[in-house]
Structure 1
């Protein structure tokens, strides 16, 4: 019981430290983390309206883009934030009371809370300012966003070790990860693609996550090809692989050899 309380206290202390170091030193602090995605959705909405008369679903351009952008950012921001966990907390890991898992948990909770707050704010603004009145499945949206965060946690945990051991891998991962924003269904519906491209793109778990989120936002969207089990299995495998790599590298991490 004492060990659990100790880990809880360490995690809480690390969260406070992460908030102060990540947001306290920047102009606007925590507000910038909220304003940045809001401005991004607004900018992309204007671009959408220039090139298309109607969104692929519904009548609201901001809602359509947000329904793809928000679940994607749960993955993207989480995986990026988690990958830098050991570098950001290397000095603290010299203390026996602080474990790498405490640092991972603190960063995961902080990023999840931030992304959830941003998503609620963006959707609230779209509904209130855009006059959107359609019913939405809040539980389904939370499930999809949570799955995206878990996938980001798994990929980020793997990258904690891989980035440190193989600098070339970090460059390769950046090249592969960069176009995901364009090919994961943020801007389009996978069902609109011709075969066999539609079948190929469904190997990307982010496509399923965005379909999952959109099916909760739009009651009329059927999301043909959506496989929730595939997303959960992929995220679990990545997380277990990340934990295995981290456990195997624990001594090197504490001794600052990775």
Structure 2
């Protein structure tokens, strides 16, 4: 039985709420505090050396529109990657499938990260003179890209990390520089060639560009390729699902 059922997914979501966020009163508060502190730190550091951010007039908004999509991707992809290890005991039941585990973790953490981003950005816009002009279609498109890439790469990593413990360390090493290479603290168009061309292949650059275009009406991001991000997401997602379908019983017996 490979198709997820709403009742099982709902039960897995409630379990995750209790174990991941309900053990202490600060569970959800920390999820909100992490990006807020990150944005504040970047604002303080770069406002010392520069009078204005690369786009717009407000440092907190510029870094919020870069850091929040990045953190959302990191959290979602990591949570999906650990879905089978997290729910290994429940997967022993025939009615619970690995797809249930993947979707349960993904849905809860996507909604959590969306709420965190909404509260943070609303706070920035209300507290500062950001001069933002929201384009909801662009923002929604950016969220769709985050969701697709997080689930696709997370599904592939779910297989790799469940089968090969060393993969978690290898992946962590290779992705450590992503904060500096994803357009969080700079604008893609300001990067000189040939480095700009190399950075284009980082799907997070496209995601950050699309999200920022939803807040800055004068920000031109022609480099963003929605089809490229979805193609990368589909490749890793389908490949990961096929591998999990073939080897998920072997993983549970490990």
Superposed pair shares fold, TM > 0.5: yes
CA contact (8 A) 2:85 2:162 kept: no
Is 1:110 aligned to 2:108, yes or no?
yes
> What are the equivalent positions in structure 2 for 1:88-127 lying under 5 Å apart?
88-127=86-125
Q: Give 1:238 deviation, angstroms.
A: 1.3
For 1:92 and 1:247, locate their aligned partners in 2 and report how far apart those are by CA, in whole Å.
Answer: 17
TM-score normalized by the length of structure 1:
0.93
For 1:24 and 1:32, locate their aligned partners in 2 and report how far apart those are by CA, in whole Å.
Answer: 12
Structure 2 unpaired stretches of 5+: none
Counterpart position of 1:257: 253
Counterpart position of 1:205: 203
Is 1:132 aligned to 2:133, yes or no?
no
- Count residues in correspondence: 254
Counterpart position of 1:168: 166
Q: Give 1:26 deviation, angstroms.
A: 3.1
TM-score normalized by the length of structure 2:
0.95
Structure 1 unpaired stretches of 5+: none
**Greater mean alpha carbon deviation, residues 146-155 or residues 52-61:** 146-155
CA contact (8 A) 2:3 2:99 kept: no
For 1:135 and 1:110, locate their aligned partners in 2 and report how far apart those are by CA, in whole Å.
Answer: 29
CA contact (8 A) 2:3 2:97 kept: no
Counterpart position of 1:53: 51
Q: Deviations over 1:98-117 (max 9, x none)?
A: 11111111111101101110
RMSD: 1.7
Counterpart position of 1:86: 84
Partner secondary structure for residue 123 of structure 1: helix
Task: Return the match for 2:226 from 225, 228, 239.
Answer: 228
Counterpart position of 2:188: 190
Counterpart position of 2:238: 240
CA contact (8 A) 1:191 1:224 kept: no
**Greater mean alpha carbon deviation, residues 82-91 or residues 137-146:** 137-146
Q: Give 1:6 deviation, angstroms.
A: 8.0
Task: Return the match for 2:5 from 7, 13, 19.
Answer: 7
For 1:44 and 1:95, locate their aligned partners in 2 and report how far apart those are by CA, in whole Å.
Answer: 46
